[in-house]
């Protein structure tokens, strides 16, 4: 563990001023006239608003004494007010200041040490991680607590430091290193929760239990009896068996016909949440395995999302033996705040288990699940947030349409494109209109996180975890809709 003395920050602080001014102008091509006007308005406020424009929130105001230009802080403060977030979150999310620069300056301002290497925290850190601190496992390091505060936590820590006397008993690290330390604190418990948490909610409906011996025997006897009856020498027995099979077939056919008719109903769209301050924090989870080849495309797709960066909580979940994917994500990261989560060793190694690993430290009230090949339309998150806000709490999930974007490649991709269009744009839409169980697709699903907690998140032993969630939500009195936009999906 490397502890950076507070005096060593002074040498890097002098370089901040030279490094940071160009960054705001690279964000979203801020060299265009509208962006330059916005920056100029911050730098040259009108007399009537001069006092308000000079006010810099306390969570970033200390940076002015550590080499960060005031116009950068003013821009971050204006962005935070527009998006309804804390100024430090906007500053970091927009890339105006790096995490290391911010937290090193904070450590120097508080006159405490800055930790720039991995450190072990106690297992109880998972419970306090949301507050931005955790107890250190080995106090011989010279401090008892590790902090990575954000928002109002920065102000509270400053106040506590001013009131404290004597040697400080805590150190500062970056938010990324802090979350990595919390996840490493108790890997055995994290693996156990990811695999078996859903069983604590409803054990009888978990795939791991499977069918009981008596149920398997009854099903086997019924199938054998039905097959034998088709060849029985008794006409009425053969007729009864044929009617049973025909009834099952026609039930499925009529369900599709009714769903097609119901899909023609027009649904009134809710008024979009154009104000960024109204938008909730959105957690995006992507379970990846051997996806290094599409890391650059994935990062571009995430950067195209029209959503405030400070309100995005992106989690890439990878397996311990998938270093190529981790390296590709580090080489081609999205600009939005993100975290690479390494799933602890354990069984089963399935997508639902990987999704469960990311959930304990999810910040968003809404959760979206995407695949590596997905290209969601830019406003999909805004549309989903709008629909959730306009819908009753019983609407627990939304399903976006999946569209094959290379259907013209050959006859097989054309058939897939036709099947996806029929399923997502007609059949699922009709089922949702009839308030029937919606068998979700494996990607582009949006959930209320409270609804996920109620059912124990995903069943790690169920490889059809998406369809399972649709039925689990229905059993809890919740339902799904198919109106969250569209996601392009490539067949490779």
Q: What pLDDT sits at residue 261? A: 87
Considering the domain delimited by 276-489, tell me its CATH architecture: Alpha-Beta Complex (3.90)
Sign for the CA dihedral angle at 391, 359, 176, 106 comes to positive
Point out which residues pair with 398 in neighbouring strands: 446, 481
Least confident of 64-78, 110-124, 194-208, 268-282: 268-282
Q: What pLDDT sits at residue 434? A: 80
Neighbours of 136 (CB within 10 A): 23
Answer for the pair 24, 75: CB distance below 8 angstroms, yes or no: yes
Q: What pLDDT sits at residue 396? A: 86
The mean pLDDT value for 90-105 works out to 94
Q: Which residues contact 256 (CB under 8 A, 6 or more apart)?
A: 427
* pLDDT confidence bin for 11, thresholds 50/70/90: very low
User: If you write DSSP's letter for every residue of 66-110 in order, what string do you get?
Assistant: GT--HHHHHHHHHHHHHHTS-HHHHHHHTTSS-HHHHHHHHHHHH
Q: What pLDDT sits at residue 340? A: 94
As given in the structure block, the two tokens for residue 222 are 């019924």
In a 3-state reduction of DSSP, which class is residue 306?
A: coil
Percent share of the chain, pLDDT over 90: 42
The label of the residue with tokens 């109903």 reads 265
The label of the residue with tokens 């949702």 reads 432
Q: Tell me how many degrees the CA angle 74-76-80 measures, rounded to the nearest 5.
A: 115
Answer for the pair 95, 24: CB distance below 8 angstroms, yes or no: no
For residue 125, what are the CA distances in angstroms to 130, 202, 244, 364?
9, 28, 58, 19
pLDDT at 29 over 50: no
Give per-residue pLDDT as tens, 436-490. 777 777 788 899 999 899 888 998 998 888 778 877 777 776 666 666 666 765 5
Q: How far apart are CA 22 and CA 29, in angstroms?
A: 11
Q: For helices 213-229 and 235-262, what crossing angle results, to 10°?
A: 110
pLDDT at 17 over 60: no
Determine which helix (DSSP H) or strand (DSSP E) holds 318, and give its type and residue range.
strand 312-318
**Average confidence score pLDDT of the chain:** 82
Answer for the pair 241, 324: CB distance below 8 angstroms, yes or no: no
The label of the residue with tokens 């590596």 reads 372
Give per-residue pLDDT as tens, 292-310. 999 999 999 999 999 999 9
pLDDT higher at 141 or 367:
367
Parse the chain into domains and list their residue ranges. Answer: 1-185, 276-489
Give per-residue pLDDT as tens, 413-434. 888 888 888 888 888 888 878 8
Q: What pLDDT sits at residue 6? A: 39
Least confident of 37-41, 164-168, 402-406, 483-487: 37-41
């Amino acid at each position: 563990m490397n502890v950076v003395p507070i005096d060593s920050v002074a040498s890097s602080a002098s370089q901040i001023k030279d490094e940071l001014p160009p960054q705001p102008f690279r964000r979203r091509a801020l060299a265009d006239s509208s962006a330059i006007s916005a920056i100029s308005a911050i730098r040259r406020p009108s007399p009537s608003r001069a006092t308000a424009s000079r006010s810099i929130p306390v969570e970033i105001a200390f940076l002015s004494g550590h080499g960060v230009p005031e116009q950068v802080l003013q821009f971050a403060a204006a962005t935070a007010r527009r998006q309804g977030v804390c100024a430090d979150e906007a500053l970091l999310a927009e890339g105006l200041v790096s995490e290391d620069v911010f937290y090193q300056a904070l450590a120097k301002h508080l006159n405490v040490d800055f930790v720039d290497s991995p450190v072990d925290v106690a297992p109880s850190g998972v419970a306090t991680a949301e507050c931005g601190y955790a107890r250190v496992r080995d106090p011989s390091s010279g401090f008892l607590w590790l902090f990575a505060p954000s928002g109002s936590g920065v102000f509270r820590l400053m106040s506590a430091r001013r009131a404290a006397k004597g040697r400080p008993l805590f150190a500062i690290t970056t938010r990324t290193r802090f979350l990595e330390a919390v996840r490493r604190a108790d890997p055995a418990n994290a693996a156990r929760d990811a695999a078996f948490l859903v069983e604590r909610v409803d054990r009888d409906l978990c795939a791991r239990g499977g069918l009981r011996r008596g149920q398997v025997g009854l099903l086997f006897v019924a199938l054998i009896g039905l097959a034998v009856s088709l060849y029985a020498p008794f006409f009425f027995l053969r007729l009864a068996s044929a009617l049973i099979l025909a009834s099952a077939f026609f039930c499925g056919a009529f369900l599709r016909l009714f769903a097609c008719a119901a899909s023609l109903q027009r649904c009134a769209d809710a008024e979009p949440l154009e104000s960024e301050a109204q938008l909730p924090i959105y957690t995006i989870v992507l379970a990846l395995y051997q996806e290094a080849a599409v890391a650059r495309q994935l990062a571009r797709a995430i950067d195209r999302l029209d959503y405030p960066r400070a309100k995005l909580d992106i989690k890439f979940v990878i397996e311990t033996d998938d270093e190529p994917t981790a390296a590709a994500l580090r080489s081609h990261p999205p600009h939005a705040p993100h975290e690479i989560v390494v799933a602890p060793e354990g069984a089963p190694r399935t997508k639902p288990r990987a999704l469960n690993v990311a959930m304990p430290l999810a910040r968003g009230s809404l959760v979206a699940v995407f695949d590596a090949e997905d290209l969601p339309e830019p406003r999909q998150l805004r549309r989903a947030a709008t629909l959730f806000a306009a819908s009753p709490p019983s609407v627990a999930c939304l399903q976006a349409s999946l569209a094959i974007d290379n259907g013209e490649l050959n006859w097989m991709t054309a058939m897939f494109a036709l099947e996806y269009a029929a399923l997502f744009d007609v059949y699922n839409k009709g089922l949702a209109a009839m308030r029937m169980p919606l068998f979700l697709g494996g990607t582009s699903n949006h959930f209320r996180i409270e609804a996920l907690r109620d059912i124990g998140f995903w069943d790690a032993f169920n490889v059809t975890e998406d369809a399972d969630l649709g039925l689990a939500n229905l059993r809890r009195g919740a339902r799904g809709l198919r109106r969250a936009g569209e996601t392009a999906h490539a067949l490779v």
